[in-house]
Amino acid sequence: MKTVLLAGGFGTRLAEETEARPKPMVEIGKKPILLHIMDIYSHYGYHDFIVACGYKAHFIKEYFCNYHLHCSDWTFDLSNGQREILQSNAPNWQVSCIDTGLEAMTGGRILRLKPWLSSETFMVTYGDGLADININELVKFHKSHGKLATVTAVRPPARFGGLVIDNSKKVTEFTEKSQLNEGWINGGFFVFEPKVIDYIKGYDTPLEKAPLENLAADGQLMAFHHEGFWQPMDTIREKRLLEELWESGNAPWDMQKQNSRAKKHG
């Protein structure tokens, strides 16, 4: 099953970083957030990726073009230009980088990928959001309901403290706002049947507008509830938060490390 990574937006709210590179290539722990997302899928056995590029597409293409060079040890024969891999740490991934246009919206980027997505179920997610989501459970849920589309429902990160105020305007209680008090929102991590593409009418169509709205109206959109960690990277503050989690060695989305820790304490 292919996984589409939406990586073409301008990332204007993270301008401190995105003036030089597309947002999915902003690094968390010296590794682009895009690769962190790919690691999540790869952990569950999904290794076939399509990166829907747009803004600064060349940056992403050049990164993957040179990926093998930087993660391997080589012998170079300078006399004839031949080279030989001595050892490689490259993952067993198939990565297609496709330029879906500078101005295309999220739905339009999927529409441009139709030639590669028209024959089987596929997954889609945003190139700037991390979660400790179980992809196998997500796919299992999608297959169980028989509808065209599944969206992962998450609770937005709590941002503000809660106040309880009496009639005299005195604060009687201050509580750190719980994420559980928030409603459910679109967290990405979609699973789609090919017919979902028929709901996208043009390259200027946001996935989150008419396509998902009409799928819901037709009873073809189901929600996979994810109660665990989910965090987008829309601002420099959120980037720093993700950096701190990674540097602490306790990043919730780092499936391999979390599983190793569970086995150690199990």
Residue pLDDT tens, the chain, 266 long: 999 999 999 999 899 889 999 999 999 999 999 999 999 999 999 999 999 999 999 999 999 999 988 889 999 999 999 999 999 888 999 999 999 999 999 999 999 999 999 889 999 999 999 999 999 999 999 999 999 999 999 988 766 555 566 676 555 555 555 555 568 899 999 999 999 999 999 999 999 999 999 999 999 999 999 999 999 999 999 999 999 999 999 999 998 776 666 555 55
Which residue(s) pair with 212 in the sheet? none
Predicted TM-score (pTM) of the model is 0.89
d(CA 26, CA 20): 9
d(CA 88, CA 70): 9
8 and 111 in contact (C-beta within 8 Å)? no
Predicted confidence at residue 236, as pLDDT, reads 94
72 and 164 in contact (C-beta within 8 Å)? no
49 and 94 in contact (C-beta within 8 Å)? yes
Three-state secondary structure of 28-94: CCCCEHHHHHHHHHHHCCCCEEEEEECCCHHHHHHHHHCHHHHCEEEEECCCCCCEEEEEECCCCCE
In 3D, which of 24, 3, 258 has the Cα closest to residue 139?
3
Classify domain 2-155+183-265 at the CATH topology level: Spore Coat Polysaccharide Biosynthesis Protein SpsA; Chain A (3.90.550)
Predicted confidence at residue 183, as pLDDT, reads 80
Contact residues for 207 (Cβ-Cβ < 8 A; gap 6+) = 105, 106, 107, 110, 124, 200
